[in-house]
A and B are shown apart, each in its own frame.
Chain A
Amino acid sequence: MPSRSIDLPQGTLDLLILRTLSLEPLHGWAVSERIQQISSDVLRVQQGSLYPALHRLERRGLIKARWGTSENNRKAKFYELTKAGRRELEIEQDAWQKLTAAVSQILETA
């Protein structure tokens, strides 16, 4: 486990989950693995908060779940993005980019 990994800022987990699922349906474990891999192990997903987040997104109708067979041939719960989820992802992504751009600008110039 890398020592310099940082915890996710509040509220970004949903965005990352949506982004991860926008490529293909994944089960919960794969979501956490994927986030860690892509961020080169910099971001560490609190696995305890992953599942409540998945369920919350499901309740909001942004993702939907179905049971399928995993790559190692086990029964697993796969999540995929719904139309509403895709829309939400675009909005959130846009907002995030604006936010980080503004924050970096302040950090660089001020």
Chain B
Amino acid sequence: MLLHDLLFRLRALMQHPAMESELDDELRFHLERQTDKYVKSGMSEAEAARRARLELGGLDQVKNECRAVRGVSLVESLVQDLHYSARTLLHSPVFTACAVLTLALGIGANTAIFSVINRVLLNPLPYPNSQELLAARQNDSLPNLKDMQRQTHSFASSGGVNIAPADFTGNGEPVRVHAAYVDAGLLATLGVQPMLGRWISAEEDTTGGARNVVLSYRFWRDFLGGDAHALGRAIRLSDKTYTIIGVMPRDFTLPRELADVFVSLWAGYPEDAPDRDVHSMHTYWRLKPGATLPQAQAEIAQADHRLAEDFPDTEKERGTVLMPLHESLVGNVRPALLILFGAVGLVLLIACANFAMLLMARAVTRQRELMIRASLGARSGRLIRQRLTESTLLALVGGATGLLAAKAGTTLLLALKPAELRLDAIPMDARVFVFVFAISLLTGLLFGLLPAWSATRGDIAEALRENARTTSTGVSRNPLRSLLVTAELALALILLAGAGLLIKGFLRLRSVDPGFNPGNVMTMYLQLPGARYPQIPSQTNFRRELLARINSLPGAEAAMITDLPLAGNYVGHRVVVDGQPARAVGTEPEVQTLSVMGNYFGVMQIPLRTGRDFSAMDRAGEPLVAIVNQAFVKQLLPGQNPIGTRIDWARSNEPHQWMTIIGVAGDVKHSGLDQLAEPAVYAPFSQNDERWRRFMTLVIRTRVPVAGLVENVKKQLWSMDSQMPVSDIQSMDDLLAVSVAQQRFNVLLLGSFAVLAVALAGVGIYGMVAYRVNQRTHEIGLYIALGAQHRDVLRLVMKDGVKLGLLGIVLGLAGAIALTRVMVSVLFEVKPTDPATLIGVAMLLAAVTILACYIPARRALKIQPMTALRRE
């Protein structure tokens, strides 16, 4: 029945013209028959027609009734309501602007954050059937990857990639590019095909395979001018010649790596490819259709077990964990994004409360009009519908404006975002539009219904009473408005508390001593091409010469280290300590291994706690020496004098070549300010070099302007080797800032949401007090005329606002204590219920509340008793 009704109405709506002409036909037929009847009974044609029409009643009236029955009137009256709303809104532009702006802020902020969430969390990865893709949490080696693939059945394919810099030469200036050293299975696993040519075949991907290269679209465009005949041409990468066999599609990226060229690991590093114990590849896996993650994980665990048995020396401690690729990419940003989304949702609620209060105030000022319409017979249902139409119209306009604000907001977000948030664009797709439309509609209906509903009850009656100028003894309280104000302040406090906690954590983080002095230190990354510097002595000579040349520059002191603190890398090695009981193979403690040259500790101003620094005498052929950090001493040499203790890398060839500890350096936050310092061993480049350790980072403490210095360093470098690119030129201060970019992003966003929330709540309470002052002008005038002091007047008009505000703050505190728990994962060394922060933000909000009450209350002081009374 209901369905039938709906279909009927729908047809009436969709086929409006057809239904109209059918109705015409039906009634015309009736009139003709009736006329015929009367003609047959002897009347004249004209008289018969007149009589027939008369009997039917007004033709238009009948039609109208038929239309009403069809249910079209619903739509027609909606159109009427819209028309009416638009007209009245345009007549009160200030109100309209305030309402639209309030909602635009709330909806805009929500839309911006939702766009990010939509892009990062909701959008599938750009690979076909990406839900089948898994990533291993640990890096692995190529032989292990192959063995695991062979021993398992759940996977359609697997692939690995290791990104290393390569020097692209022979095309003008030397350029450092990101080379992806891959295995052939990688692309099949991702399910992508090259745009031009082909991918590396399985036959080539082995020892002695052809030296081929696949280019990224960007590399092809920038360095080969997008030449369609590039296939078959040769390019030089790190002094080796490769033949171009393919070009990847324009929008192709690896899941987490940046790559300019793709080369088989066997072609790029034939000597390293068979190394089972160098776990340097990110591995990706594609499940067979129907295979499940637990099943795959179980098989991988078995394969791990077998590898550990077969290669106990190196593979004992395996524990490969597979996770969905999407999860592995976004898992670490999800908590922060969801917290931001929750926060911005609270902002919207506050904006909505203000919106509702605006509507209520407007209803009161329009009560005369509403009363007239009611007395003219408009049913209250119709009046509510009319007002809902108005609020929904406002909300939709606010939503559209918010969409524009969100567009600007996402541009800002892109500029602020940390690198961890892999986001190159924030497009607004259909889902975003649906989101905006849905929350606008919901806002308009829900928060329009509240005041509309309350208006049909108390508000108008109250306004009437006030208008009748009865001296209201009771305060003109509206429970809904009080509730809204209280709720706003509570929500604002929760946001403020969240932001306060984040800021406090961020300040703590920034005040963490990194263990070195980042001021005035420039850094740059170099890599010695293996072909030109194949042997350790030639590498050492180059390094020594380069440092000598830079140190001869005025105002510069340079040193070098393998991996810079906070840059995200280090090489880990297991160590054994002379004199300590031998541990089982594979369970020796792992430490950061860093090679240095020059006065590294002096340049970085890392304090030496005991012992001596390296000297020029600590070179190849001399007794091996090492400096360890305090964490090393604490964890590996407890209660022992470190100086003179001998250590060696585990699994090095017997007999041990012991390094003697000559000094202890202060701890450095190598992996991030929020991380614990890990045990580290520093050794001189000249004593602790290996053929593969060809990379280094220059650190230069300067007393001269940086720009000139960088140019001079490059000049010195290129006078020694014109084919060596320099990259990652950045100051230590910048590096430090980048390392906390994610936290800064959270602080900035949550902080601005909190500011927005406090501003909106302040406006809300301000509006309430101002409204009341306005409504009670007469009463206040009388009060002043009776001799009330300023203080009394202030108390009278501020009392309610302050009381509600404080109530809101107390409720907000309770809410904050309950809610800020979700922030644990993004807070640094701050408890989510940190009392100082909670008290601080509560006092701040209380101050805002009092100010927001005071400003309109001052107006009450200016009321002239006589003027007020004359308004009678």
Task: Give residues in A with beta carbon < 8 Å to B.
Answer: 27-29, 33, 46-49, 51-52, 55-56, 58-61, 70, 72, 74-77, 84
Residues of chain B within 8 A (CB-CB) of A75 are 25, 29
In the assembled complex, 12 residue pairs joining A and B whose CB atoms fall closer than 8 Å, in A order, are A29-B29, A29-B34, A33-B37, A47-B57, A48-B65, A51-B26, A51-B62, A51-B66, A52-B65, A58-B8, A60-B5, A77-B29
Contact of A55 among B4, B57, B70 (CB under 8 A): B70
A76 to B32 CA separation, bound complex (whole angstroms): 11
Q: A29-B34, A60-B1, A84-B1 are in contact. Are A55 and B66 (CB under 8 A)?
A: yes
A47 to B56 CA separation, bound complex (whole angstroms): 5
B19-47: CB near A (< 8 Å → 1, else 0) gives 00010011101101110110000000000
Which A-chain residue is minimally distant from B19 (CB atoms)? A55
Contact of A27 among B29, B58, B61 (CB under 8 A): B29
- Give the shortest distance, in Å, between A5 (CB) and chain B (any CB): 12
Residues of chain A within 8 A (CB-CB) of B616 are none
CB interface residues, B 124-175, toward A, < 8 Å? none
By Cβ-Cβ distance, the 3 closest A-B pairs, closest first, are A48-B57, A61-B4, A52-B65
B438 interface contact, C-beta 8 A: no
Residues of chain B within 8 A (CB-CB) of A47 are 30, 34, 55-57
What 11 additional pairs, Cβ within 8 angstroms, besides A28-B26, A29-B29, A59-B69? A28-B30, A29-B33, A47-B55, A48-B61, A48-B62, A52-B65, A55-B70, A61-B1, A72-B36, A75-B25, A77-B25
Q: Say whether chain A's binding surface is mostly helix, strand, loop, or mixed.
A: helix
Residues of chain A within 8 A (CB-CB) of B25 are 75, 77
**Residue pair A56, B69 in contact (C-beta under 8 Å):** yes
**Residue pair A59, B34 in contact (C-beta under 8 Å):** no
Which B-chain residue is minimally distant from A46 (CB atoms)? B57
Q: A47-B55, A48-B56, A52-B69 are in contact. Are A60 and B33 (CB under 8 A)?
A: no
- Give the shortest distance, in Å, between B54 (CB) and chain A (any CB): 10
A71 to B33 CA separation, bound complex (whole angstroms): 11
- Give the shortest distance, in Å, between A37 (CB) and chain B (any CB): 12
Residues of chain A within 8 A (CB-CB) of B22 are 77
B822 interface contact, C-beta 8 A: no
B71 interface contact, C-beta 8 A: yes
B68 interface contact, C-beta 8 A: yes
Residues of chain A within 8 A (CB-CB) of B32 are 74
Residues of chain B within 8 A (CB-CB) of A70 are 29, 33
Residues of chain B within 8 A (CB-CB) of A59 are 4-5, 8-9, 69-71
Residues of chain A within 8 A (CB-CB) of B26 are 27-28, 51, 76-77
- Give the shortest distance, in Å, between B13 (CB) and chain A (any CB): 13
Q: Say whether chain B's binding surface is mostly helix, strand, loop, or mixed.
A: helix
Among A46, A48, A56: residue with most chain B CB under 10 A: A48
A84 to B3 CA separation, bound complex (whole angstroms): 14
Residues of chain B within 8 A (CB-CB) of A76 are 26, 29
**Residue pair B1, A51 in contact (C-beta under 8 Å):** no
A72 to B70 CA separation, bound complex (whole angstroms): 29
- Give the shortest distance, in Å, between B543 (CB) and chain A (any CB): 91
Residues of chain B within 8 A (CB-CB) of A49 are 65
- Give the shortest distance, in Å, between A91 (CB) and chain B (any CB): 14
Residues of chain B within 8 A (CB-CB) of A61 are 1, 4-5, 8
Which B-chain residue is minimally distant from A82 (CB atoms)? B4
Residues of chain A within 8 A (CB-CB) of B37 are 33
**Residue pair B30, A55 in contact (C-beta under 8 Å):** no
- Give the shortest distance, in Å, between A86 (CB) and chain B (any CB): 15
Residues of chain A within 8 A (CB-CB) of B34 are 29, 47
A55 to B55 CA separation, bound complex (whole angstroms): 19
A16 to B357 CA separation, bound complex (whole angstroms): 54
A86 to B26 CA separation, bound complex (whole angstroms): 24
CB interface residues, B 49-94, toward A, < 8 Å? 55-58, 61-62, 65-66, 68-71
A84 to B5 CA separation, bound complex (whole angstroms): 13
Which A-chain residue is minimally distant from B31 (CB atoms)? A29
A74 to B35 CA separation, bound complex (whole angstroms): 15
Residues of chain B within 8 A (CB-CB) of A46 are 57
Q: A47-B55, A74-B32, A77-B29 are in contact. Are A52 and B68 (CB under 8 A)?
A: yes
Residues of chain B within 8 A (CB-CB) of A52 are 62, 65-66, 68-69
- Give the shortest distance, in Å, between B71 (CB) and chain A (any CB): 7
CB interface residues, B 569-604, toward A, < 8 Å? none
A25 to B763 CA separation, bound complex (whole angstroms): 68
- Give the shortest distance, in Å, between A97 (CB) and chain B (any CB): 25
Residues of chain A within 8 A (CB-CB) of B65 are 48-49, 51-52
**Residue pair B66, A60 in contact (C-beta under 8 Å):** no
- Give the shortest distance, in Å, between B68 (CB) and chain A (any CB): 7
- Give the shortest distance, in Å, between B57 (CB) and chain A (any CB): 3
A81 to B5 CA separation, bound complex (whole angstroms): 16
A78 to B754 CA separation, bound complex (whole angstroms): 68
- Give the shortest distance, in Å, between B731 (CB) and chain A (any CB): 77
A77 to B30 CA separation, bound complex (whole angstroms): 10
CB interface residues, B 790-834, toward A, < 8 Å? none
A28 to B61 CA separation, bound complex (whole angstroms): 17
Residues of chain A within 8 A (CB-CB) of B4 are 59-61
A59 to B512 CA separation, bound complex (whole angstroms): 75
Among B33, B62, B68: residue with most chain A CB under 10 A: B33
A29 to B35 CA separation, bound complex (whole angstroms): 11
**Residue pair B56, A55 in contact (C-beta under 8 Å):** no
**Residue pair B29, A51 in contact (C-beta under 8 Å):** no
- Give the shortest distance, in Å, between A47 (CB) and chain B (any CB): 5
A72 to B57 CA separation, bound complex (whole angstroms): 25
Residues of chain B within 8 A (CB-CB) of A28 are 26, 29-30
A60 to B8 CA separation, bound complex (whole angstroms): 9
- Give the shortest distance, in Å, between A69 (CB) and chain B (any CB): 11
Which A-chain residue is minimally distant from B61 (CB atoms)? A48
A51 to B55 CA separation, bound complex (whole angstroms): 13
Which A-chain residue is minimally distant from B26 (CB atoms)? A77
Among B25, B29, B34: residue with most chain A CB under 10 A: B29
Residues of chain B within 8 A (CB-CB) of A74 are 29, 32
A79 to B441 CA separation, bound complex (whole angstroms): 41
- Give the shortest distance, in Å, between A43 (CB) and chain B (any CB): 14
Which A-chain residue is minimally distant from B32 (CB atoms)? A74
Among B4, B26, B55, B58: residue with most chain A CB under 10 A: B26
- Give the shortest distance, in Å, between B165 (CB) and chain A (any CB): 76
A58 to B26 CA separation, bound complex (whole angstroms): 14
B634-661: CB near A (< 8 Å → 1, else 0) gives 0000000000000000000000000000
Residues of chain B within 8 A (CB-CB) of A51 are 26-27, 30, 62, 65-66
